């Protein structure tokens, strides 16, 4: 692992912070596992993640929230600015603990044990990010209980190899539920997780960014898009999200659990829509064409029509005009 270095919180993350407040990261050595720094507006959750990185105290960190709200990108962009290497895994229902530990592979005519992301992260002091952890079998996740608390990792498959957790090793998980299962029916495959496993995690709830944050993001990532259009795309996104989440409507009427839509316009889909609108500039209706490619082509016909109707209402004359 490279030499540690202290970073001023205010200047590193472009946020207001007490003068002199800093956090320890690593010197920039071009490590291939450090995420690429991208334009990012830090918001809710920054303080909680930094506090966890500063001192995990035997805890893991679980970020929970709706799909596409920026759970993983928050951690990635913090790690990028601190030059903190990351081992990132997308969990699924067939994943086993052994997939995280590693296994034997045939290399150059011989059988060699290749360490998995958990073993590498524990040994080297990387962040282990387990995305969609609530899709994984809780019986398999129970095997992480001790290592989350900082206990040595024993790899029986490799002759009982013992890896003592590096002081900078951290376990971070993301999920659309907080481990209690999905009551909305929107997230297929989500499993109720073991209480003993969840008890080892701090929980940070992440929601969709505020309009001003997404405006800053679009300004940085798609500067060619006129501000008037960008502002309206964000309004559309927030209305789609409201219907997806089943939140209270502006007239005060509550929506049914799970909402009226089964898909949502995430921040990444919003950026995709904005970029494609610029790409198809000059087309008969670039906003509609781009929205189809960004999101609605995979929607049921009635949901596609509903989302396009929202967009048409918000964008008005811009909806059918070249961007």
Q: Which three-class secondary structure string do you get for 47-115?
A: HHHHHHHHCCCCCEEEEECCCCCCHHHHHHHHHHHHCCCEEEEECCCCCCHHHHHEEEEEECCEEEEEE
Q: Pick out the chain residues at pLDDT < 70.
A: 1, 178-192, 248-259, 322-323
**Cα–Cα dist 82/49, whole Å:** 12
pLDDT of residue 195: 78
- pLDDT score of 124: 97
The pLDDT value recorded for residue 260 is 83
The dihedral through the CA atoms of 233, 234, 237, 239 has a sign that is: negative
Residue reference for tokens 């052994």: 98
Q: What's the confidence (pLDDT) of residue 258?
A: 46
- Identify the pLDDT of residue 189: 56
Q: Are 178 and 204 in contact (CB under 8 A)?
A: no
For position 182, what pLDDT does the model report? 52
Q: Which fold has domain 4-205?
A: Rossmann fold (3.40.50)
pLDDT for 1 equals 56
- As a whole number of Å, the CA-based R_g of the chain is 22
| pLDDT at residue 253, as a whole number | 38
Distance CA 120, CA 128 (A): 9
Q: Are 40 and 81 in contact (CB under 8 A)?
A: no
């Amino acid at each position: 692992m490279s030499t540690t270095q202290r970073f001023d919180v205010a200047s590193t993350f472009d946020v207001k912070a007490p003068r002199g407040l800093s956090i320890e990261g690593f010197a920039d050595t071009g490590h291939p596992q450090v995420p690429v720094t991208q334009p990012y507006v830090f918001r809710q959750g920054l303080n909680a993640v930094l506090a966890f990185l500063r001192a995990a105290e035997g805890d893991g960190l679980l970020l929970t929230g709706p799909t596409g709200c920026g759970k993983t990108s928050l951690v990635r962009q913090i790690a990028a600015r601190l030059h903190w290497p990351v081992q990132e895994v997308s969990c699924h229902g067939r994943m086993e603990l052994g997939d995280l530990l590693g296994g034997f592979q045939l290399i150059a005519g011989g059988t060699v044990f290749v360490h998995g992301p958990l073993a590498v992260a524990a040994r080297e002091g990387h962040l282990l990010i387990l995305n969609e952890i609530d899709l994984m079998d809780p019986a398999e996740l129970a095997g992480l209980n001790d290592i989350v608390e900082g206990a040595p990792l024993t790899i029986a498959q490799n002759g009982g190899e013992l890896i003592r957790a590096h002081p900078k090793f951290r376990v971070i998980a993301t999920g659309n539920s907080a481990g209690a299962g999905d009551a909305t029916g929107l997230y297929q495959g989500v499993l109720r997780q073991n209480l003993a496993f969840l008890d080892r995690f701090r929980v940070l709830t992440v929601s969709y960014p505020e309009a001003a944050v997404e405006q800053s993001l679009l300004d940085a990532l798609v500067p060619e898009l006129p501000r008037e259009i960008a502002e309206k795309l964000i309004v559309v996104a927030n209305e789609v999200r409201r219907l997806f989440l089943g939140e209270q409507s502006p007239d005060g009427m509550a929506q049914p659990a799970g909402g009226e839509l089964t898909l949502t316009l995430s921040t990444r889909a919003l950026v995709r829509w904005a970029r494609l609108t610029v790409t198809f500039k000059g087309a008969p209706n670039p906003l509609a064409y781009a929205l189809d490619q960004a999101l609605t082509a995979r929607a049921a016909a009635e949901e596609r029509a509903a989302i396009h109707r929202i967009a048409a209402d918000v964008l008005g004359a811009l909806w059918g005009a070249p961007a």
